[in-house]
Structure 1
Amino acid sequence: MKQQYNKVVLAYSGGLDTSVLIPWLKENYGCEVIAVSGDVGQKSELDGLEEKALATGASKLYIADLKKEFVEDYIIPSMKAGASYENYLLGTSFARPIIAKKLVEIAKQEGADAICHGCTGKGNDQVRFELAIQAFAPGMDIIAPWRFWELNSREKEIEYAKAHNIPLKITAETNYSKDKNLWHLSHEGLDLEDPANKAPLEKEGFLELGVSPIQAKDEPDYVTIHFEEGTPTSINGKEMSCLDIIETLNDLGGQNGIGILDIVENRLVGMKSRGVYETPGGTILYAAHEKLEEITLDKDTAHYKKQVALKFGELVYDGKWYTPLRKALSSFVDETQKTVTGDVKLQLYKGNIIPQSVTSPYSLYSSGMATFDEDDCYDQSDSAGFIHLFGLPLKVRALNDQELFGKAQKHFPSVE
Structure 2
Amino acid sequence: MKNINSIKKVVLAYSGGLDTSIIISWLKENYNCEVIAVVGNVGQKDELIGLEEKALKTGASKCYIEDLTDEFVNDYIFPTIKAGAVYEGKYLLGTSFARPIIAKRLVEIAIKEGADAIAHGCTGKGNDQVRFELAVKAFAPDMKIIAPWRIWDIKSREEEIEYALERKIPISISYETNYSKDKNLWHLSHEGLDLEDPANEPKYDKILEMCNTLENAPDNPSYIKLKFEKGIPVELNEEKLDGVTLIEKLNKIGGENAIGIIDMVENRLVGMKSRGVYETPGGTILYKAHKDLEEICLDKETAHYKQQVALKFADLVYNGQWFTPLREALSAFIDKTQETVTGEITLKLYKGNIINAGMTSPYSLYSEEYATFGEDAVYNQNDSSGFINLFGLPITVKAKMEEKLKKGDK
TM-score normalised by length of structure 1: 0.97
Q: Which residue of 2 aligns with 1:223?
A: 224
Q: Which residue of 2 aligns with 1:163?
A: 166
Q: Which residue of 2 aligns with 1:42?
A: 44
Structure 1 residue 318: Cα displacement: 0.2
How far apart in 1 are the matches of 2:165 and 2:117?
Answer: 27
Q: Does the residue aligned with 1:79 lie in a helix, a strand or coil?
A: helix
Q: Does the residue aligned with 1:174 lie in a helix, a strand or coil?
A: coil
The 4+ residue runs of structure 1 with deviation greater than 4 A are none
Q: Which residue of 2 aligns with 1:249?
A: 250
How far apart in 2 are the matches of 1:48 and 1:244?
Answer: 23
128, 133, 155: which one aligns with 1:130: 133
9, 16, 29: which one aligns with 1:7: 9
Q: Which residue of 2 aligns with 1:61?
A: 63
Q: Which residue of 1 aligns with 2:300?
A: 299
Checking the alignment, whether the CA contact within 8 Å between 1:348 and 1:354 is kept in structure 2 is yes
List runs of 5+ in structure 2 lacking aligned partners: none
Amino acid at match of 1:242: G
Matches within 5 A, 1:315-326: 315-326=316-327
Q: Which residue of 2 aligns with 1:404?
A: 405
| Cα deviation code 1:260-284 (max 9, x no counterpart) | 0000000000000000000000000
Checking the alignment, whether the CA contact within 8 Å between 1:26 and 1:33 is kept in structure 2 is yes
Matches within 5 A, 1:344-355: 344-355=345-356
Checking the alignment, whether the CA contact within 8 Å between 1:247 and 1:281 is kept in structure 2 is yes
Structure 1 residue 236: Cα displacement: 0.9
Say if 2:104 is the partner of 1:105.
no
Say if 2:182 is the partner of 1:193.
no
Checking the alignment, whether the CA contact within 8 Å between 1:202 and 1:215 is kept in structure 2 is no
How far apart in 2 are the matches of 1:402 and 1:29?
Answer: 80
How far apart in 2 are the matches of 1:61 and 1:111?
Answer: 15
Structure 1 residue 7: Cα displacement: 0.2
Structure 1 residue 217: Cα displacement: 1.0
How far apart in 2 are the matches of 1:349 and 1:326?
Answer: 36
How far apart in 1 are the matches of 2:337 and 2:97?
Answer: 22
List runs of 5+ in structure 1 lacking aligned partners: 410-416
Amino acid at match of 2:382: S
Q: Which residue of 1 aligns with 2:31?
A: 29
Structure 1 residue 202: Cα displacement: 2.0
Q: Which residue of 1 aligns with 2:235?
A: 234
Checking the alignment, whether the CA contact within 8 Å between 1:23 and 1:57 is kept in structure 2 is yes
Q: Which residue of 1 aligns with 2:156?
A: 153
Q: Does the residue aligned with 2:85 lie in a helix, a strand or coil?
A: coil
Percent identity (aligned): 68
| Cα deviation code 1:211-232 (max 9, x no counterpart) | 1122111111000000011111
How far apart in 2 are the matches of 1:244 and 1:223?
Answer: 15
Q: Which residue of 1 aligns with 2:186?
A: 183
84, 87, 101: which one aligns with 1:85: 87
Q: Which residue of 2 aligns with 1:412?
A: none
Q: Does the residue aligned with 1:357 lie in a helix, a strand or coil?
A: strand
Structure 1 residue 84: Cα displacement: 1.1
Matches within 5 A, 1:303-382: 303-382=304-383
Greater mean alpha carbon deviation, residues 134-143 or residues 208-217: 208-217
Matches within 5 A, 1:282-297: 282-297=283-298
How far apart in 1 are the matches of 2:227 and 2:243?
Answer: 11
How far apart in 2 are the matches of 1:152 and 1:25?
Answer: 17
How far apart in 1 are the matches of 2:409 and 2:205?
Answer: 68
TM-score normalised by length of structure 2: 0.99
Q: Which residue of 2 aligns with 1:388?
A: 389
Q: Does the residue aligned with 1:277 lie in a helix, a strand or coil?
A: strand
